[in-house]
Amino acid sequence: MKLALRELRRRPGRFAVATVILTLIALLLMFLGGLLDGLEASSTGALRAQRADVIVYSSTSQDSLVRSRLEPAVREQVAGIVGDERVGGLGSVQLGGRLEGRGVRDLVPVVLFGYELALTGLPEEVPARGQVYADEALRAEGIEEGTTIRLGPARTPVEVIGFLDDSQYSGQGTLWGSLDTWREVLDANRPGERAGAGVVQALVVRDDPARSGDLASAIDGATDGATSSLSIDAAIEALPGVSQQRSTFNQIIGVTVLVAIVVVALFFALLTVERTSLYGVLKAVGASSGTLFAGVVLQSVVVTLIASAVGAAASVALDAAIPAGSLPFVATPSRLLTSVAVMLVAAVVGCAFSLRRVLKVEPAAAIGGAQ
Amino acid sequence: MTAPTRTATEAGTALRLEAVRKTYEVGGEEVVALDHADLTVGSDEIVALVGPSGSGKTTLCSIAGGLLSPTDGRVVVAGQDISGYSGKQLTEFRRESVGFVFQTVNLVPFLTARENLLVVDELGPRTGRKAKDRADQLLEELGLSDRAANLPGQLSGGQKQRVAIGRALMNEPDLVLFDEPTSALDSTLGDQVVRLIREEMKSRGTAAIIVTHDDRITHYADRTVHISDGRIEA
């Protein structure tokens, strides 16, 4: 082990090429992961921000917020299970927002949500009619507290009274107002989608701690199949494109990991071939194959750790350098740590290809007696 | 590994080969590298092993040092019968009981002279301070104290060979095997190295087998053994 570390310290040039390539791979891995996380965050923030356990759609909606409509009668049935104070209506509409001082066609795409149950980062009280909280991402558009945004073709004005973080939806910034504000904006701009009094697109439900059993099943049972209730996580998965996007990115990440394994395997296989006579001598003076192979693994792990550290630092720097809202990239500690762990596994797996070669070195080769 | 028991008759014997045979399979045919070799080396005896290329010198040396296992026969080194040892047992045996000096010096290129000696200790259960003291003492005896911190690339051929001798002596072996130790050195340096080998072996009472083509070496040996076609000549 000491021998392997000394070689790394005294002959860093030998490992430079592998370190540079692995650094680029680590950076690519973290960048892809960061993009995936960023894209997911910008698609799912509105649901993740819900302080609720279950989201209820109409059964005919195919779990789509836009297609879902729930009548007040359904709401009463749901309230019968957990109590009215644990049920909140939710409505949404995607519109272009106009800002003062910007061109007529220079619209800011936003999703206006009407809500009742407070989200993470928002006060319990729902804002007054015509007032909204805005997602932090909209600051990049120059929106501040007090800004009036004119929504849709009807240019319905809403005033921003505060901000909340990480609540984007479908890659767009969100505005959060009362259900009345939502209905007013919807009526004015999407008359065909008008929602009647008490009608909402979905319900968010907080479970009653005193209750037992699966809440989603209980709700769907109580509404006699008129609803399709999903946990927040399941609702996120049901968002269009989220799981497909994740699977595509994960496949690319998988291929990148394979490349990392191949790089480690080739590099250390070459190094092992180069060291055949040295290993012969070391085995002759009493080194076991296990000790020598452990040295190879240790070197691979150290090189990978250095590469991963540089990759992680570059990812964090990139995250800090990207202006908010320009690129959906986030460098989260969990993503960085997972990437490092994956790289380390690749390092060990890659080394395994050298094991046979290390085992095959005959100590007698040192003295020219191997046949 | 069970601790070897030395018998009284073996107390003065560093190596005993009894009817040792080594064969290899080459292209489906059996090639005899060593044929019923018998050899006894006393505990402080220096034996020069002389023979033409391909005569079996290296094979004999490899079997005596636990680098190869014999096909038949018995190999006893300082009381340990190593004939049936497993690979793992042979590794431990080499680490603890024999020393090697190879034809091409084969020092670890990125370790200093002192570290090349200590590597033997690092490969097994470490003795720490004791090993360091021994390495320093050996370097001093070999006239390399001022070169202890030099890498092999900064040493002359003779100095490298002396470091290799030091490494072979680190584990206080019962038997040291030298494989053509002077072949890469000029005659003056070769002479110095062989004289040093004799001094070191005799002062420690350690047995040595020196495989050589070089007639000058035989003058420093207590006995010369000739080998030809895998057979030791009487």
> Whats the size of chain B, residue-wise?
234
pLDDT at A107: 93
Binned average pLDDT, 10 residues per bin, chain B of 234 residues: 44 88 89 91 92 88 92 92 92 92 84 93 82 92 92 91 91 91 80 87 91 82 91 81
**Which of B32, B58, B102 to mutate to probe the A interface, most A CBs <10 Å?**
B102
| Alpha-carbon span A267 to A93, nearest angstrom | 55
Backbone angles phi, psi at B70, to 5 degrees: -70, 155
pLDDT at A192: 87
Contact state of B62 with A369 under an 8 Å Cβ cutoff: yes
Q: Are B133 and B122 in contact (CB under 8 A)?
A: no
Whether the per-residue pLDDT at A137 is higher than 60: the answer is yes
Whether the per-residue pLDDT at A366 is higher than 80: the answer is no
| Alpha-carbon span B61 to B47, nearest angstrom | 11
Q: Hunting for tokens 């070197």 — which residue is that?
A: A299
How deeply is A264 buried, as exposed, middle or buried, from its count of CB atoms within 10 A (0-12, 13-18, 19+)? Answer: buried
Single-letter amino acid code for the residue at A226: A
What's A61's DSSP letter?
A: G
| Alpha-carbon span A335 to A361, nearest angstrom | 40
What's B3's DSSP letter?
A: P
pLDDT at B112: 95
Q: Are A349 and A261 in contact (CB under 8 A)?
A: yes
Q: Tell whether B100 is within 8 A of chain A (Cβ).
A: yes
Q: Which of B26, B110, B171 sits opposite A6 (nearest CB)?
A: B110
In chain A, what percentage of residues exceed pLDDT 90? Answer: 80
pLDDT at B1: 43
b/e per residue, A42-65, with b = 16+ CB within 10 A?
A: bbbbbbbbbebbbbbbbbebebbb
Contact state of A2 with B122 under an 8 Å Cβ cutoff: yes
Per-position DSSP letters for A80-133, written without gaps between them: HHH-GGGEEEEEEEEEEEEETTS-TT-PEEEEEEEESSPBTTS-SSPPPTTEEE
Q: Are A335 and A26 in contact (CB under 8 A)?
A: no
b/e per residue, A295-334, with b = 16+ CB within 10 A?
A: bbbbbbbbbbbbbbebbbebbeebbeebeebeebbbbeee
Contact state of B58 with A367 under an 8 Å Cβ cutoff: yes
Contact state of A6 with B115 under an 8 Å Cβ cutoff: yes
How deeply is B157 buried, as exposed, middle or buried, from its count of CB atoms within 10 A (0-12, 13-18, 19+)? Answer: middle
The set of residues, in sequence order, having a beta carbon less than 8 Å from that of B137 and lying 6+ positions away, is none
pLDDT at B105: 65
| Alpha-carbon span A134 to A49, nearest angstrom | 13
Residues of chain B neighbouring A10 (CB-CB closer than 8 A):
110
Residues of chain B neighbouring A369 (CB-CB closer than 8 A):
58-59, 61-62, 67-68
Q: Which of A142-151, A204-213, B100-109 reaches the highest mean pLDDT?
A: A142-151
Contact state of A285 with B96 under an 8 Å Cβ cutoff: no
| Shortest alpha-carbon distance between residue A312 and chain B (Å) | 31
**Which of B110, B150, B151, B213 to mutate to probe the A interface, most A CBs <10 Å?**
B110
- Whether this model's ipTM surpasses 0.95 comes out as no
Give whole-number Cα distances, A290 to A303, B109, B118, in Å.
20, 21, 19
| Shortest alpha-carbon distance between residue A371 and chain B (Å) | 7
pLDDT at B180: 86
Contact state of B59 with A369 under an 8 Å Cβ cutoff: yes
Q: Tell whether A356 is within 8 A of chain B (Cβ).
A: no
**Which of A10, A285, A293 to mutate to probe the B interface, most B CBs <10 Å?**
A285
Backbone angles phi, psi at A83, to 5 degrees: 100, 145
Q: Hunting for tokens 């080739």 — which residue is that?
A: A266
Contact state of A282 with B103 under an 8 Å Cβ cutoff: no
What's B32's DSSP letter?
A: E
Instruction: Report yes or no on whether pTM surpasses 0.90.
Output: no
CB atoms within 10 A of CB A140: 13
Q: Tell whether B159 is within 8 A of chain A (Cβ).
A: no
CB atoms within 10 A of CB B22: 24
Say whether B22 sits in a helix, a strand or coil.
strand
Average pLDDT over residues A140-158: 94
Give whole-number Cα distances, A122 to A132, A145, A200, A308, in Å.
11, 15, 21, 37
Average pLDDT over residues A303-321: 94
Residues of chain A neighbouring B110 (CB-CB closer than 8 A):
6-7, 10-11
Q: Tell whether A35 is within 8 A of chain B (Cβ).
A: no
Instruction: Indicate the average pLDDT of chain A.
Output: 92
Q: Tell whether B114 is within 8 A of chain A (Cβ).
A: no
pLDDT digits over A242-257, tens only? 999 999 999 999 999 9
pLDDT at B11: 62
Q: Tell whether A295 is within 8 A of chain B (Cβ).
A: no
The sheet that has B46-50: what strands, in order across it?
A: B98-101, B175-179, B207-212, B46-50, B223-228, B231-233
